[in-house]
Chain A
Amino acid sequence: MATESVIGQWVRREDGERKVLGRAVYAGDLRVPNLLHARLVLSPYPHATITRVDTEAAKAVPGVVGVYTAEDLPLVPPDGLTRSRDPLARDRVFFEGQPVVAVVAESEAIAEDAAGLVEIDYEPREALSDPVAAMENTHVQVHDSEALGLRDDAGAHTSVSEHTQQLPMPPNGTTAERYQRGDIDRGFAEADAVVEHTYNTSWVYQGYLEPFSVVAIPDNAGNIDVHSSTQGAFFVREEVAKGLGISERRVNVRTAEVGGAFGAKYAVFDPLVAALAWDTKRPVHLTLTRTEDFLAGVPAPGITMRVKTGARKDGTLTALQATIIVDTGSFPGGTAGIVALLLGGTYRFPHMRIDAYEILTNKPGCGAYRAPGAPQACFAIEGQIEELARTFGLDPFEMRLKNAVVEGDSMPGEETWPRIGSREVLEALRNHPAWQNRHQKGPGEGVGIAFGGWPGGTQPASALCRLNDDGTLTVVVGSSDISGTRSGFALLAADAFGVGYDAVEVADAPTDTAPFAGAAGGSKITFTVGSAVRQAAEEARRQVLAIAADELEAAPDDLEIVDGQVRVKGVPSSAVSLERIAALTTGFGSKHGPILGSGRAAPDDAAPGFIAHLARVRVDDETGKVEVLDYVAVQDVGRAINPAGIVGQIRGGVAQGVGWALLESVVYDESAHLRTSSFMDYALPSALEVPQIDPVLVEVPYPSGPLGGRGVGEPPVVGGAAAIANAIYDATGIRPTDLPMTPERVLQALSQRSS
């Protein structure tokens, strides 16, 4: 190709400047005529029967337009338990912070005043907080099994497939599955050493800057526009349409600028706000306060993992036995399967038995948070591997390289791993100076590593590519940009078409006109939409070359696009500009159709991304405080389309990993009351807690990805807690098993070590 490829150029995120300068317009910033504002009344009880709701005083406040309970909302009752389409509590509340009443008024202040006047009587009930206790509790049920839609025969011990079985459903359980392979007893009998621990990880909050925010605008023809801070416009469209009982084409979702999502923002409050707008026939705005977002958002679940691992003296793993208990809060849907996949699928275990449970408690329904389940699984399995390596006196890289999965190895279920860069990331980290120089360390310092992966996701996607009058391209997509994907699309289109990065603009279209794209989750937007964008740009290029061939009286194969012109190869004077082509396809009476390339992609396999991380820490053995001094994050990215974007993803993921490791915990007390309802109590890392980070990109191309690219968004968070825990282990000899590793916990472990 004559124009030098733009792939691999470090380009800035196109949304960066406006966000940094405060010019980005978020959903909650939208002001339209006749806008109403909603405020919610939240349950102060984690579990209670509602005996009376009196909204009269609230309704009497001047400026109040409506006060809504569940019965007042024009929403179609969902079949099962679906929080988003049944957004206000009915006769019972299941978690502290569950919305019970919505007040709509001419201003937010009026709505807030009126919300304070709503009277609700509750009869408190016993609340379940500990999932391990909940799965043995036969007298308190978060939901009865009828509401859950569980079949009576769910208790049977049934085989789903060769390696997967249903287990008897425990009380308050929604998932009970066994993954097994080989003969677990034989596996442990063959082991020279066995390690066994119970790991507990905390609930964590996604910590996006922008809380949940929605504006819904109905028209007078039965349509509704929804401006939402969401990862998935088409998913919001589906939820709102189902909720209102109208066709999806009546709902037009615009993904406003998203101020962080990290897995939380699919469609939680959209049907509620749409229903309020539908009923009042006016635009309605709702933005949660931070405290409401902590109470009524969708934080990620706490997970308990009992893990036992055996290995031979030479480091060969023989067996893994694990029980996973995911606390899903008061709504079903958790990550036990992913935890099982990564606990049992990161290394080759000839003999394995993993029991995975999802258990209901009286907490908000859990949501996803960047690589849901993976940081937790990595924390547990990497702790085991590290301990086994030390037991045998083996180099930690040798131990991992000997057992790490490669292409063709089995996952815990029926699947096998496709082409992955597992060994490549380990080799790259082993050669890094931070590992080579690990023995040069000051007092209290330690170095730890972690290895892990993320399976990735896939979903069909499409895109359009148009030629503009000035010779630039507009790429149209329907995906939400939560991570800089627009910049990657521009590079992919520029490369495929043959123009510079600056000549491509990416437009996020609303759902009524956008080409379909799935939600931005599973590290799949560049992977799926990117392929469609590339195809669309290639098609646009073919159309342009065909017209130019006509104009220049040359064969399309003899043409090239250079510096904004289509010219005959080797004859620069024989050329036609892209502006001219555009004019020839749009002018009155023109004989050529407008340039419009389209692309469709449905990759049948997700592209896993593997990582190897290293942390250097200093432990204050008098206070237990851990400081992360240095960090290396190696990642297989397939093909680095925009290295600047990837490095940004890595830095952000590592920062979150530091938070998970040392600081962050959504704390519920034994009655399931929330103790951390602000950023004062919920500690996110600040810039001063985040270490120097060295991102290292390894490229093991993935065949069906765009130019070999893999999803890069989620893997960077996977190794944080594990690497830091192993570094603490190296520094002190203590084996952390609970997240976060707070100063007090570390100090307790240190004092037990010395006693």
Chain B
Amino acid sequence: MIPAAFDYAAPASLEEAMALLAGHPDDAKLIAGGHSLLPLMKLRLATPQLLVDLGKIPDLRYIEEKGDHLAIGAMTTHYQVSISEAVRRRAGLLADSAAVVGDMQVRNRGTVGGSLAHADPASDLPAAALALGAQLVARSRSGERVIAAADFFQDIWTSALEPEEILTEVRIPFQDGKAQAYEKFRQRAGDWAIVGAAVSVARRNGTIDRADVILTNVGPTPVRARAVESALQGQPVSPEVVRAAAEQAADGLDPAPELKASPDYKRHLARVLTRRALERALQIS
């Protein structure tokens, strides 16, 4: 469990970090909380020549309300997000998801940006980002671009970020009035999700206007449960509607078998958790 030799840099500014990345396009890795990268390095599955630590850059930790959206600095920790009054009020699903990431130690050190950029399908925040319609801001020396969450997660551990880009901010449109919840099934407190379900429901006059239902850990990226979404759309809020819609949560799902769960079991959990998340979000049961 000793990593291969590497160089370490802790730049004090984003500009400095971007310059370092540009100088090492193939062999540098950014490190934020380090929970995913360091174990890979200790197993020598990752052998970067240069680690660029973003922890010393002061202006990447913030939660701000800006016009119509929340802006969250990439180095904001899960814990900060989970206790933020602004996040609870403006994007409840994100607070709900961040509160169940890993355990207390992970939430105190792990960051929103690190978790999203790592693009692990078993992580909780990617599903939430999709359900919330998040926009991810990436910067490099050649400029800034904004990537929709729907385009960000491309494959297992693969995001739309270019090697020289740094994820600096997550923007989340205000979710005021939406019914939201994240249900996570795990064997033990502190574990990764075996399956998770993030739901966000917009209602108008007792009718479902739009539903976003995203599943964690049932494919190489977070998976949108389109059949559930369309079964809900335009329907009145009722236990029967929710129950029937949730039954379709596994339609088209082809999850890989895991040590802790067979594909069939994951499909079953997708249905149960989708229903539970909807019931909790809509306060029906």
Contacts and interface: CB of A to CB of B under 8 A. Distances in A.
Interface of A: 108-109, 112-113, 116, 289-291, 622-623, 625, 663, 667, 675-676, 680-681, 683, 685-686, 688-689, 742-744, 747
Contacts of A689: 188-189
Nearest to B269: A623
Given A112-B2, A744-B265, A688 B272 contact: no
A688 B188 contact: yes
B268 interface: yes
Nearest to B266: A744
A622 B43 contact: no
B260 A742 contact: yes
Interface of B: 1-2, 4-5, 43-44, 103, 185, 187-192, 259-262, 265, 268-269, 272
A683 B187 contact: yes
B4 A688 contact: no
Contacts of A625: 185, 187
A63 to B, nearest CB: 13
A689 B272 CA distance: 22
Contacts of B262: 744
B160 to A, nearest CB: 27
Looking at chain B's contact residues, is the secondary structure mostly helix, strand, loop, or mixed? loop
A108 B5 CA distance: 12
B105 to A, nearest CB: 12
B190 A688 contact: yes
Given A663-B188, A676-B259, 12 more contacts: A113-B5, A667-B259, A675-B259, A683-B191, A683-B260, A685-B188, A686-B103, A686-B188, A686-B190, A742-B187, A743-B187, A747-B268
Contacts of A113: 4-5
Contacts of A680: 192
Nearest to A659: B188
B189 A622 contact: no
17 contacts: A112-B2, A113-B4, A116-B44, A291-B43, A623-B185, A625-B187, A663-B187, A667-B259, A683-B187, A685-B188, A688-B190, A689-B188, A742-B187, A743-B187, A743-B265, A744-B260, A744-B261
A688 B189 contact: yes
A112 B1 CA distance: 9
A683 B258 CA distance: 14
A289 B188 contact: no
A622 B274 CA distance: 12
B54 to A, nearest CB: 25
A685 B191 CA distance: 11
Given A622-B272, A623-B272, A681 B259 contact: yes
A648 B5 CA distance: 43
Nearest to B4: A113
A676 B259 CA distance: 9
B255 to A, nearest CB: 13
A92 B116 CA distance: 46
Residue of A667, A681, A743 with highest tally of chain B CB at under 10 A:
A743
Contacts of A667: 259
Contact of A289 (B1, B192, B260): B1
B262 to A, nearest CB: 6
A689 B191 CA distance: 12
Give me the 7 closest cross-chain CB pairs, A-B, nearest first: A688-B189, A289-B1, A744-B265, A112-B2, A622-B272, A109-B2, A689-B188
A667 B257 CA distance: 14
Nearest to A112: B2
A571 B24 CA distance: 88
B1 A291 contact: yes
Contacts of B191: 683
A750 B252 CA distance: 25
A683 B265 contact: no
Contacts of A112: 2
A747 B44 contact: no
A655 B188 CA distance: 14
A683 B43 contact: no
A440 B284 CA distance: 27
A203 to B, nearest CB: 14
A118 to B, nearest CB: 14
A685 B261 CA distance: 18
Contacts of A686: 103, 188-190
Contacts of A681: 259
A686 B102 CA distance: 13
A108 B3 CA distance: 11
Residue of B44, B185, B187, B189 with highest tally of chain A CB at under 10 A:
B187
Residue of B5, B192, B265 with highest tally of chain A CB at under 10 A:
B265
A112 B43 CA distance: 11
A680 B106 CA distance: 14
Contacts of A676: 259
Contacts of B185: 623, 625
A108 B2 contact: yes
Contacts of B189: 686, 688-689
A676 B187 CA distance: 15
Contacts of A289: 1
Nearest to A678: B39
A675 B260 CA distance: 11
Nearest to B194: A743
A288 to B, nearest CB: 9
A623 B188 CA distance: 14
A290 B2 CA distance: 12
